[in-house]
């Protein structure tokens, strides 16, 4: 699964994701948690970046609180579940990230680990979004991150992991002309183990209000 991640935007953030517009404010985030607003990339000829709520609220939902249960979507069922079925056809997105966290049970308790890619300071999670309207008719954009069974590298920490798109597949994933779910999902390939790294971090990450560079510093196991 994916319940926390980081985004340290470099000077080439907009160029990296081929984004046309600019956000009013783009700052490093070291502990992004569900329910928070996050930069998300969508295709609108060319790509655009919008701030979206993490936790997908289906357009037909009566209560927006359902979003807290939809921070992740399993790749095996996104094309079938009513909550995601329409989004996988026409509302696919890219969630920029620089790393993510996973917790692993050990003799010392649940230890948080930071995971990233060795040669990529920025990468994109495959995601889905939807647009819900509140009682005032205001549009609320929200998203979910797609997960898949863990590769060998991640299996030592958890049985699932977020789908990290290969850069060469990002454009196809966002391509609005691809409406068949099977055609879109074929671009969500497993991450090669050798691309990844991980290390243990402090329990500071356990509290969403902690959001500083200290969180991603490695700590030595005792």
Q: Which CATH number belongs to the domain containing residue 132 in this structure?
A: 3.90.1680.10
Please provide the distance, in angstroms rounded to a whole number, between the alpha carbons at the two ends of the chain. Answer: 27
Pairing of strands 37-43, 123-133: unpaired
Q: Does residue 101 lie within any of the structural domains?
A: yes
Q: Does residue 13 lie within any of the structural domains?
A: yes
Model pLDDT, residue 110: 87
**Domain ranges, residue 68:** 5-216
Q: Count of domains in the chain? A: 1
Query: pTM score, two decimals?
Result: 0.95
Q: Does residue 76 lie within any of the structural domains?
A: yes
User: Is the per-residue pLDDT at 76 higher than 70?
Assistant: yes
Q: Does residue 221 lie within any of the structural domains?
A: no
Q: Does residue 143 lie within any of the structural domains?
A: yes
The answer to whether 104 and 111 have CB atoms below 8 angstroms apart is yes
Q: What is the secondary structure of 104-125 as a DSSP string?
A: EEETTEEEEEEEEETTBSSEEE
Residues 28 and 14: their CA atoms lie apart, in Å, by 14
Residues 140 and 156: their CA atoms lie apart, in Å, by 37
Write down the mean pLDDT value for the chain.
94
Residues 158 and 154: their CA atoms lie apart, in Å, by 6
The predicted-structure confidence for 162-186, as pLDDT tens digits, reads as follows 999 999 999 999 999 999 999 999 9
Q: Does residue 195 lie within any of the structural domains?
A: yes
User: Is the per-residue pLDDT at 222 higher than 60?
Assistant: no
Using CA atoms, how far residue 98 sits from 13, 32, 37, 121, 177, in Å, is 11, 11, 16, 6, 28
Q: Does residue 189 lie within any of the structural domains?
A: yes
Instruction: Collect all residues with Cβ–Cβ distance below 8 Å to 19 and sequence separation of at least 6.
Output: 13, 41, 46, 47, 48, 49
Angle at 67 between CA 71 and CA 170, to 5 degrees: 45
> What residues are labeled active site?
2, 102
Q: Does residue 192 lie within any of the structural domains?
A: yes
113: left (phi over 0), alpha (psi -120 to 50) or beta: beta
């Amino acid at each position: 699964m994916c319940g926390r991640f980081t985004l340290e935007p470099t000077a080439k953030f907009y160029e990296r994701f081929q984004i046309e517009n600019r956000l009013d404010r783009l700052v490093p985030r070291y502990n992004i948690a569900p329910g928070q607003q996050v930069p998300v990339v969508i295709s609108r000829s060319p790509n655009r970046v919008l701030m979206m709520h993490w936790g997908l609220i289906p357009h037909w939902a009566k209560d927006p609180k359902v979003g807290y249960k939809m921070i992740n979507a399993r790749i095996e069922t996104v094309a079938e579940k009513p909550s995601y079925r329409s989004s996988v056809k026409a509302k696919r997105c890219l969630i920029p990230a620089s790393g993510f966290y996973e917790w692993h049970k050990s003799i010392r308790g649940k230890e948080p680990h930071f995971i990233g890619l060795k040669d990529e300071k920025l990468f994109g999670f495959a995601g889905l979004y939807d647009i819900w309207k509140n009682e005032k008719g205001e549009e609320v954009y929200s998203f979910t991150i797609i997960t898949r069974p863990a590769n060998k590298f991640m299996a030592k920490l958890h049985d699932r992991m977020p789908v990290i798109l290969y850069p060469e597949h990002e454009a196809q994933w966002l391509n609005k002309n691809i409406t068949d779910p099977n055609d879109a999902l074929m671009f969500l390939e497993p991450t090669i183990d050798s691309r990844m790294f991980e290390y243990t971090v402090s329990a500071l990450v356990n509290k969403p209000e902690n959001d500083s560079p200290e969180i991603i510093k490695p700590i030595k196991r005792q």
